[in-house]
Amino acid sequence: MATYEYLCSRCGPFDVKLEIGTAPKAYGCPVCAGAARRVYSSPGLSLTRNAVAALHVREEQAREAPAVVSQVPPRRRVPRHPHPALSRLPRL
């Protein structure tokens, strides 16, 4: 999905999400239903770390089709590794 920007002469700019390559030159304004022309602007590109980009992708996928579980996942036991200095302390 891509975000396309349109400009209505009465209501102002608005965004529409459509499949890539399917955006018409004119689109109906969601407020007044008048014809709005497509506006070309610079893409919103930025350099993000891979971990942040992966989180954004997961969040968008969860918004569209959330994961459904049938039961609560089992609790994981975290192994405890005591500090080496504690082994030299006297035991009571």
pLDDT tens-digit readout, 76-88:
887 888 888 888 8
**Which pLDDT band, with edges at 50, 70 and 90, does 6 fall under?**
very high
pLDDT tens-digit readout, 26-46:
999 999 999 999 999 887 777
Structure tokens at 38: 């497509």
Give the predicted TM-score (pTM) of the model: 0.48
Beta-carbon contacts of 38 under 8 Å, excluding residues fewer than 6 positions away, are 4, 5, 6, 7, 23, 24, 25, 26, 27
CA dihedral 5, 11, 12, 14 (to 10 degrees): -30
> Could you give the 3-state DSSP secondary structure of residue 64?
helix
Q: Are strands 2-8 and 35-39 parallel, antiparallel or unpaired?
A: antiparallel
